[in-house]
Amino acid sequence: MKDIKEIAKKAGINEDELELYGNTKAKIKLDVNKRLESEKNGKYILVTAITPTPLGEGKTTTLLGLTQAFGTAHNKNVIACIRQPSMAPTFNIKGGGAGGGKSLAIPVDEINLGLTGDIHAIGAAHNLAMAALDTRMWHETRQDDEALKSRGIDKRLDVDPSTIIWNRVVDVCDRSLRNINIGLDDTEARGGEPSDIFPRNTLFDLTVASELMAILALATDLKDLRERIGRAVIALSKSGEPITLEDLQVAGAVTALLIDAIKPTLVQTLEGQPVFVHTGPFANIAHGNSSIIADKIALKLADYVITEAGFAADMGMEKFFNIKCRYSGLSPDAVVMVATVRALKLHGGGPAVSPGKLDPVYTSENLELLEKGLANLGAHIKNARKYGVSVVVAINQFPEDTAAEVEMIRKYSIENGALDAVGTTHFSEGGIGASNLAEAVIKAAETGSNFNYLYDLEIPIKDKIETIAKEMYGADGVEYSEKAEKQIENFTRLGYDKIPICMAKTPLSISHDARLKGVPTGFTVPISEVRASVGAGFLYPLTGSISTMPGLATRPSFMDIDVDTDNGVITGLEH
């Protein structure tokens, strides 16, 4: 591992623009933007994927392998921008999020176990806001307006407890926190008589599901962060009016807790290329991309910037284009679509794939099954092309994949609109294994794009939802619950109808139903409810039940993690 100051110098970052965290990582001061303001942007590459199996198809590994290939095989000035992994999946079944094999961001243990503390800062800020809300409600039930005013309270908020939007957060998977009661001691203090505030039924979410995480990822600078935090709606009043963090007089303190978290963290690949790690919003109820701030800094420093979008192209890519690109003002030059033989066989009718259970059909040649599943790849290529962006397919190869299978995918991809399709072996070989992919991506980026959004922000909420459902998922239409209808009507009344849509659905199908593989047809997308992340700047319709607090598996990954006490090295983190 190289000293982080050496990596910074390679990236074009001055030493006085760093805040060092030892020799392995550093925060980048936002002052760097002033120096780089007049610099021309480099090429902007998005890595996305086909509909994955539950094992994932290697987007981050491909991104890092491609970054290494740009740097070592092609001698290009390149920076990777990735999300910060949450410790919740790291300690559960997903493992770490720093790549794999010989395509890694390092130091792996520090990236996966908190890095520079951004997620902890978001948790503290979020829970401070929740404490402020509960405290405000508690005092308002016990004091009149004059008493409140004498203590610096601007106005009575009159919160309706049944409309509280935020829950408390923690960065650990814990199913026991999905349904809890709080404020039990308040009942005892009142002589056994409950109030309309406590006790109250609630739950915890994962920290990365916090709206503050989405806000941090979409903020363009500190001023924008402060304004977005102030706009965040945490509940409604009994008269139906939104109550914001500004109304709670906590927005300033919340921003103060994120004063360091707004700065991207610099680490490196296994082969010495710069990597910016910053923010990690959920990829279903939020947009699932790393930060605008990191991307903007990187684009001024590098000739090529490679970033990724969570889940498959129908989710992460769609949100990257329609949400992140709108707020950043940036547009991509090329898309890398990651595909695997394994996932395509699943979409062709192969048996279920789950951790530790891989049917032999996935480890032996089966061209017939593969051919049936190729339509899923074709649909994602077609969807990406709707935005006017060139597509290169990265065939992430496993040792069992045969030359005939890889060639079938390559030929199909080109016939269905991809500029090129390349087999890659970066997991086992590092950058050299993605050299041909890098060459194809360079050509695609030079070809340029005619980028356009999928929908206009001025159209009604339902029209936006239906455009995504029909154009991205192939649905016949959308049906809304009575609750969703009322929410859409209310959001339109409040003026929230001119912001993007962030669909919350399963990542395991192009449709809303995880059981439907390949390219489903003849289905209608059900919208059970619509929620608002006003500070982040999007509405998120739910197409079913979305868990923001996963439970731990029977045998979680934390069972393998330990510390070698002879040298202080953490062991057992999945690479």
Q: How far apart are CA 500 and CA 488, in angstroms?
A: 13
What's 122-148 look like in SS3? HHHHHHHHHHHHHHHHHHHCCCCHHHH
pLDDT at 575 over 50: no
Bond prior to 107 in cis (omega within 30° of 0): yes
Nearest Cα to 232, choosing from 359, 103, 132, 382?
132
pLDDT at 572 over 70: yes
pLDDT at 237 over 90: yes
270 exposure class (CB count in 10 Å sphere: 0-12, 13-18, 19+): buried
The model's pLDDT over 422-472, given as tens digits with 9 standing for 90+, comes to 999 999 999 999 999 999 999 999 998 899 999 999 999 999 999 999 999
Q: How far apart are CA 40 and CA 36, in angstroms?
A: 9
Axis crossing angle, helix 59-68 with helix 435-447, rounded to the nearest 10 = 90
* pTM of the shown model: 0.95
The count of other CB atoms within 10 Å of the CB of residue 339 is 29
Confidence of residue 254 (pLDDT cuts 50, 70, 90): very high
Instruction: Please give the DSSP secondary-structure letter assigned to residue 350.
Output: P
The model's pLDDT over 469-504, given as tens digits with 9 standing for 90+, comes to 999 999 999 999 999 999 999 999 999 999 999 999
Question: Domain residue spans in the chain?
Answer: 4-117+261-447, 118-257, 461-542
Q: How far apart are CA 434 and CA 390, in angstroms?
A: 18
Give DSSP secondary structure letters for 411-465.
HHHHHTT-SEEEEE-HHHHGGGGGHHHHHHHHHHHHH------SS-TTS-HHHHH
187 exposure class (CB count in 10 Å sphere: 0-12, 13-18, 19+): middle
Q: How far apart are CA 320 and CA 326, in angstroms?
A: 9
> What does residue 200 show for φ and ψ, rounded to 5 degrees?
-135, 140
Bond prior to 281 in cis (omega within 30° of 0): no
pLDDT recorded at residue 341? 98
CATH superfamily of 461-542: Formyltetrahydrofolate synthetase, domain 3 (3.10.410.10)
β-bridge pairing 391-396 and 420-424: parallel
Strands (E), 284-329: 304-308
Q: Hey, which of 120-134, 169-183, 187-201 has the most confident mean pLDDT?
A: 120-134
* CB 463 within 8 Å of CB 512: no
* CB 293 within 8 Å of CB 38: no
Confidence of residue 574 (pLDDT cuts 50, 70, 90): low
Strands (E), 295-426: 304-308, 334-339, 391-396, 420-424
Arithmetic mean of pLDDT, 548-569: 87
Per cent of the chain over pLDDT 70 is 99
Nearest Cα to 375, choosing from 176, 222, 516, 196?
516
Q: How far apart are CA 6 and CA 23, in angstroms?
A: 10
Q: How far apart are CA 439 and CA 422, in angstroms?
A: 10
Query: Residue 560 CA to chain centroid, in angstroms?
Result: 26
* CB 278 within 8 Å of CB 289: no
What's 218-236 look like in SS3? HCCCHHHHHHHHHHCEEEE
* Local structure of 113: helix, strand or coil: coil
Q: How far apart are CA 162 and CA 421, in angstroms?
A: 52
HSE toward the beta carbon, residue 548, CA cutoff 13 A: 24
CATH topology of domain 118-257: Domain 2, N(10)-formyltetrahydrofolate synthetase (3.30.1510)
The model's pLDDT over 344-398, given as tens digits with 9 standing for 90+, comes to 999 999 999 887 778 999 999 999 999 999 999 999 999 999 999 999 999 999 9
Residues in the chain: 575
Helices of type H across 459-556: 461-471, 482-494
CA atoms 343, 291, 540, 129: torsion sign: positive
Buried b (16+ CB within 10 A) or exposed e, 468-497: bbebbbbbeebebeeebeebbeebeeeebb
What Rg value do the Cα atoms of the chain yield, rounded?
24
As a whole number, the mean pLDDT across the chain is 94
4-117+261-447 with 461-542: one CATH topology?
Answer: no
Please state, in angstroms and as integers, the Cα–Cα distance from residue 193 to each residue in 108, 186, 238, 354, following that order.
Answer: 52, 9, 22, 49
CATH topology of domain 4-117+261-447: Rossmann fold (3.40.50)
pLDDT recorded at residue 442? 97
* Local structure of 356: helix, strand or coil: coil
* Amino acid (1-letter code) at residue 452: N
Q: How far apart are CA 295 and CA 300, in angstroms?
A: 9
* CB 352 within 8 Å of CB 312: no
* Amino acid (1-letter code) at residue 547: S
Q: How far apart are CA 110 and CA 102, in angstroms?
A: 17
